[in-house]
Amino acid sequence: MSRTTRYVLTTFVVLLIVAALGFVYASPYIALDHVKKAADARDAQTVNEYVDFPALRSSLKEQIAALLTRRVDIQKNENPLAIIGAMIGAALVGPLVDSYATPDGVAAILNGIPPHGDPGERPPAPEANANAEAPVASSGATTAQETPKQPPQTTARYRSFDTFVVTYQHGAGDARYSAIFHRNSLVSWKLVAVDLNG
């Protein structure tokens, strides 16, 4: 084998390795793009490929329960009836979680509209997510949050080799929340959790 042939072969192998490493590094960004497009289109089959719904449901339940607990802690000194409100809110956690552990809920989460833990809350209708219009109520219940008028500031980064976090914030003083993806294989990722504390 000539020196030129060895050089060309070595260069080709190095370029192939660099391209493979680049693809592995970019894989969560690609997964995020695919799941967001699928969720916005309500393509349930594709969303199922990118979302671990049992893990997401468990995370939402934990996060919303913690959110309600924090509210009670803040309000209990001001309003003794806050405990009763908390019990009612706790009873509504299940339906709220079920409504967000759906393609509609995933679309809302990935478009900057997280659950707020309000009674009767549902993710906005598909048109509201796509066009950032006012949320549409389901089953006579109203959503307490306002749909953002402009897209949130979004940052995406690796937290570790197997964890990728997308953080959303609408303004400097607004609350942040994060969507958490875990590596499912070398280049496959799934949405598994939401952190409502940012």
What pairing do the DSSP bridges indicate for beta strands 189-195 and 176-183? antiparallel
Confidence of residue 132 (pLDDT cuts 50, 70, 90): very low
Q: Which pLDDT belongs to residue 155?
A: 94
Confidence of residue 140 (pLDDT cuts 50, 70, 90): very low
- Residue 156 CA to residue 139 CA, distance in Å, equals 35
Please, which residues have CB within 8 angstroms of residue 85's CB and are 6 or more apart in sequence? 72, 75
Mean pLDDT of all residues belonging to the chain: 83
**Is the per-residue pLDDT at 5 higher than 60?**
yes
Q: Which pLDDT belongs to residue 90?
A: 65
Q: Which pLDDT belongs to residue 188?
A: 96
Q: What is the pLDDT of residues 48-102, one digit of tens each?
A: 999 999 999 999 999 988 887 777 666 666 666 666 666 666 667 888 899 999 9
C-alpha R_g of the chain: 21
**Spatial CA neighbour of 60 closest among 17, 123, 10, 141:** 123
Q: Which pLDDT belongs to residue 78?
A: 67
Q: What is the pLDDT of residues 13-32, one digit of tens each?
A: 999 999 999 999 999 999 99
- Residue 52 CA to residue 65 CA, distance in Å, equals 20
Please, which residues have CB within 8 angstroms of residue 160's CB and are 6 or more apart in sequence? none
Which tokens go with 68?
A: 């309600």
**Is the per-residue pLDDT at 133 higher than 50?**
no
**Is the per-residue pLDDT at 147 higher than 60?**
no
Burial per residue of 30-62, b for 16 or more beta-carbon CB atoms within 10 angstroms, e otherwise: ebbebbbebbbeeeeebbeebbbbebbbebbbb
